[in-house]
Structure 1
Amino acid sequence: MTTATPRIAIVGAGPGGLICARILQRHGITAAVYERDPGPAARDQGGTLDLHADNGQLALREAGLLEEFFRLARPEGQEMRQLDPAGTTLFHHVPQEGERFKPEIDRGRLRDLLLGSLQPGTVRWGHTLEAISGPAEGPRRLHFTGGATVEADLVIGADGAWSKVRRAVSPATPRYSGVHFLEAWFHDVTTRHPAIAELVGQGSAAAADGERGLFAQRNGGDHVRVYLVQRVPADWIAAAGLSHGATDGIRALLLERYRDWSPRLRRLITDNEGPYVDRPIFALPVPHTWAHHSTVTLLGDAAHLMPPLGVGVNLALLDACELALAIAHHGTIDAAVHAYEQTMLPRSTHLARLLDGAADGLLSTDLPDFATAGGIEPSADARPAGSPGATSR
């Protein structure tokens, strides 16, 4: 910046918000990150992510973290299988030695990498944003639960699907896609679930019959997460007279719905440990744009929530990188935000149109080519408003 150092507030300590702060700091620009969680270990961060060489890895390189990422990542996680409901393998991709186009990393491990790269005190934990006030030309005032306020020259919304920052620039809210995920967990799979470990391999396995699907994905630490995919109303569990913690009742419904699938695949319904995690899939309207504001902008899911098909975190990292570089290389915040949005909004609109309704493809017998497309990227924010963990950061 060629003018006085701006006061920058980033809302949300997910991958996008953290890498934006990291790149800004590498250019000598201070930013504070405000996060609703009381600390870095407050909740499960979600499953595994594949960071692509042409977007997510570019941001990590700009942040000076690419080699550390490769040290932590699991290139073997690029293995992918497609099966039919009988359990027959239709396609099997095994990554070549040295293949690093989209290695996997657990979401929590990526967050720890980014947190460790920041200057002490960058993240202000326990700050739940309630509202933003102040004139469009600034300064803006952030109002947090409990009465704390902060003044900023630029507010960056990196606060996910149910963004509170979004309300300052857009009335848009996510809409239910009609596709529902139930997440199931399996721990210590090599010893306790060897059949599932063999089925999933080191990467992922997918199957569908036109009405139902599943996606099983190896995580670090010998864990597997399975996503049972259905086209149902968002409240289908309550409509069946069950609570979300009624694991046995939900399992009985699932076994009936997947009754024609092979016993090999039905293990992914019968053998999970703990309750299912409810993840109805929401997306923002397409296109989602807003009038330029010199004092507020958005990145990642706050800007362009799409079905979780392997692009979300990669776009968030790329958005964050481009925004941070624009701030570093333009003379004013207004010019930086304008330059960033001139690139980000057309890109996200193009991709959102390509993926609009694409979650239905996870139910199709003509399964997506997981060897070239991304996998599934559900996060802790992939829930309806009002669900546990869905409050905007």
Structure 2
Amino acid sequence: MSAIDGKKIAIVGGGPGGLTLARLLQMHGAEVAVYERDTSRDARIQGSALDLHEDSGLAALQAAGLMDAFWANHRSDLDRLRLTDQHGTILHDHQRTMSGAGKRPEIERGPLRELLLESLHADTVHWDRKLESAVHHDGKVALQFADGDTVLADIVIGCDGANSRLRAFVTPNRPYYVGITLVEGSVPAAKDTVPELWDLLGGAALMALGNERTLGMGTKPDGSLLFYAGVKSPVPNGKQQLEEAGTAGKRKAWFYANFEGWSERWAPLFAEASSLVWRPLLSCPADQYWDSLPNATLIGDAAHVMPPYAGEGVNMAMLDALVLSRQLLNGRDAASAITAYETEMFARMRHMAEDTMSNTEIFYAPDASTKVVAMFQGFARRSSGDVPVSAASN
């Protein structure tokens, strides 16, 4: 008998972590429902590609029996990260490991979500369900949704991201702003609209660094280009200014004002962008802790959001799902299973959060281009598969 026998399990959030958890539990007969705020499975663009790591994201997919589906959908073309300075001078090309020991193959968020959805029972995911609050109710948890519906569950897991609505039910802890904001933009038909930058990108991914700013970009299967412009700022106070920049000229002016000392060659990204989204970066304290509840917990960004500069966000969410599923399937009761999961998660994420914040400081240092190149050259030396393929300048 396991901790989930005869229990109704509610998962709030249908991202990679929540769907992986649902799959792992359903494989063992659990009664699972996923409540997702998106109106349908294809309601949103799913963002940048993800590199899944052998000991976390890929391990979870292996346990879920989904490796064949993963390899059928992975992007073998995203095998290099190009590093440049703020002028576009190429400093280093980092060859990513796509197979063998230490592999980190890439997959788009959309196909990853789709293969996870396809692995679930047809009626598992309930779309257009925005959580408003959660309350204790006779030993269960009552989930109250924006449409007025209330759902009772024996066990609830919050997988609803950085701005989790379930977090307040589990812990008083709140993420803090790390002093960096990303502006996400998408450029359609990029080969034609921004040809010089398309050529500089070289068909893979690129990160430009300088003057306490970053600009990352990558190709999408539809020929568009997704970019993230990172601005170091003590307060996230530029959202209205950016949203009001409705013309190409105003968007370029925003770039010039916020990327002082950067080459004009990057300005077409902002002029040609079909959309710009303001994303202040948040982090939970590395040493966070809360007293476990007997019937509710958090995974992924809901539990431990952090900046993206270690590539661990989705991997840790999927590893959370793997660890929690094993505890629930092997534990004698939900309370002890949740406590065991959270104990492991707190210890693991303390080190991960510290490493991530250290990386973040490097990416936004005054001499970031030198430090980041050295960091990636170190990766190459430590891995038999990751080797530098160039260090030329153009």
> TM-score range, shorter-chain basis?
0.7 to 0.9
Post-superposition shift, 1:372? 7.6
Q: CA deviation at 1:119?
A: 0.5
Alignment correspondent of 1:159: 160
Which residue in 1 is equivalent to 2:362?
361
Paired with 1:266 and 1:191, the residues of 2 have a C-alpha distance of: 15
Structure 2 counterpart of 1:162, one-letter code: N
2:306 partner amino acid:
M
Report matched runs for 1:344-383 at 5 Å: 344-356=345-357, 358-364=359-365, 365-367=367-369, 368=372, 369=375
User: Where does residue 115 of structure 1 map in the other structure?
Assistant: 117
**Counterpart secondary structure, 2:294:** coil
Could you tell me how far apart the structure 1 residues matched to 2:357 and 2:224 are? 31
Number of the residue aligned with 1:280 = 280
In structure 2, C-alpha distance between the alignment counterparts of 1:105 and 1:97, rounded to whole Å: 11
1:109 and 1:242, CA in 2 relative to 1: closer, same or farther beyond 3 A? closer
Q: How far apart in 2 are the matches of 1:94 and 1:146?
A: 48
Q: Is the 8 A contact 1:179 1:360 kept in 2?
A: no
* Whole-angstrom distance in 2 between the partners of 1:114 and 1:359: 30
* Aligned-residue offset at 1:84: 1.5
Separation in 2 of the partners of 1:350 and 1:41? 35
- Asked if the contact 1:16–1:300 (Cα under 8 Å) also holds between the matched residues in 2, the reply is yes
Q: Displaced runs of 4+ in structure 1, greater than 4 A?
A: 95-100, 244-247, 370-373
Structure 1: unaligned runs, 5 residues or longer: 374-393
Aligned length: 370
- Give 1:179 deviation, angstroms: 0.6
Check 1:241–1:94 CA distance in 2 against 1; reply closer, same or farther (3 A cut): closer
In the TM superposition, what are the counterparts of 1:33-112 in structure 2 within 5 Å?
33-95=34-96, 98=99, 101-112=103-114
Question: What is the CA distance between 1:39 and its match in structure 2?
Answer: 1.1
For structure 2, which runs of at least 5 residues remain unmatched after alignment?
380-394
Q: 1:186 to 1:242 in 2, by over 3 A?
A: closer
Instruction: Look up the equivalent residue of 1:101 and give its one-letter code.
Output: K
Provide the residue aligned with 2:10 in structure 1.
Answer: 9
For 1:8 and 1:263, the matched residues in 2 are separated by 53
> 1:236 is matched with which residue?
238
Indicate if the aligned counterparts of 1:130 and 1:144 stay in contact, CA closer than 8 A.
yes
What is the match of residue 148 of structure 1? 149
| 1:133 counterpart residue number | 135
Q: Which moved more, 1:52-61 or 1:320-329?
A: 320-329
Aligned-partner residue type, residue 285 of structure 1? P
Do residues 326 (structure 1) and 308 (structure 2) align? Answer: no
Kept in 1: contact 2:131–2:143 (CA 8 A): yes
The letter of the residue matching 1:108 is: G
| 1:202 paired to 2:200 | no
CA separation of 1:32 and 1:54: change in aligned 2, threshold 3 A: same
Question: Do the aligned residues in 1 keep the contact of 2:243 with 2:276 (CA within 8 Å)?
Answer: no
Aligned residues of 1:245 and 1:276 also touching (Cα < 8 A):
no
Alpha-carbon distance between aligned partners in 1 of 2:342 and 2:274, rounded to the nearest angstrom: 43
- 1:273 offset after TM fit, Å? 2.8
Aligned 8 A contact 1:15 1:317 in 2: yes
CA distance in 2 between partners of 1:291 and 1:72 (Å)? 40
Q: Residues 265 and 245 (structure 1 numbering): CA distance in 2 closer, same or farther, change over 3 Å?
A: closer
Shift of residue 285, structure 1, vs aligned partner = 2.8
Asked if the contact 1:229–1:362 (Cα under 8 Å) also holds between the matched residues in 2, the reply is no
Given residue 350 of structure 2, which amino acid in structure 1 is its aligned partner? T
Contact 1:80 1:370 in 2 (8 A): no
Change (3 A) 1:171 1:118: same
Q: Which moved more, 1:310-319 or 1:354-363?
A: 354-363
Matched ranges for 1:261-272 at <5 A: 261-270=262-271, 272=272
Deviation of 1:221 (Å): 2.5
The Cα shift of 1:174 comes to 2.2
SS of equivalent residue, structure 1 residue 276:
strand
Distance of 2:166 and 2:298 partners within structure 1? 8
3-state SS of 1:340 partner: helix
Structure 2 contact 133–144 (Cα < 8 Å) conserved:
yes
Structure 1 residues 43 and 371, CA gap change in structure 2 (3 angstroms): farther
SS of aligned partner of 1:77: coil
> Secondary structure of 1:308's match?
coil
Q: CA contact under 8 A between 1:244 and 1:276: conserved in structure 2? A: no
Kindly provide the amino acid, as one letter, of the partner of residue 161 in structure 1. Answer: A
Separation in structure 2 between the aligned mates of residue 97 and residue 206 of structure 1, nearest angstrom: 19
Q: Residue by residue, what CA displacement relative to the aligned partner does 1:130-172 show, whole Å, maximum 9, x if unpaired?
A: 111116x821111111321111111000011111111112112
Matches within 5 A, 1:329-344: 329-344=330-345
- For residues 98 and 135 of structure 2, what CA distance do their matches in structure 1 show? 53
Q: What letter is aligned with 2:129?
A: H
Task: Mark the CA change 1:133 to 1:121 in structure 2 (over 3 Å): closer, same or farther.
Answer: same
TM-score by length of 1: 0.87
Partner of 2:386: none
Verify: 1:183 aligned to 2:179, yes or no: no
Matched, 1:296 2:296: yes
Q: What is the alpha-carbon distance in structure 2 between the residues aligned to residue 187 and residue 215 of structure 1?
A: 16
CA distance in 2, matches of 1:321, 1:162: 22
- Do the aligned residues in 2 keep the contact of 1:75 with 1:102 (CA within 8 Å)? no
Amino acid at match of 2:259: Y
Residue type at the aligned position of 1:294:
P
1:177 and 1:357 in contact (8 A); partners too:
no
Range 188-197 or range 211-220, more displaced:
188-197
Name 1:23's counterpart in structure 2. 24
- CA offset at residue 109 of structure 1? 1.4
1:78–1:102 contact (8 Å) kept in structure 2 = no
User: Identity over aligned residues, as a percent?
Assistant: 36
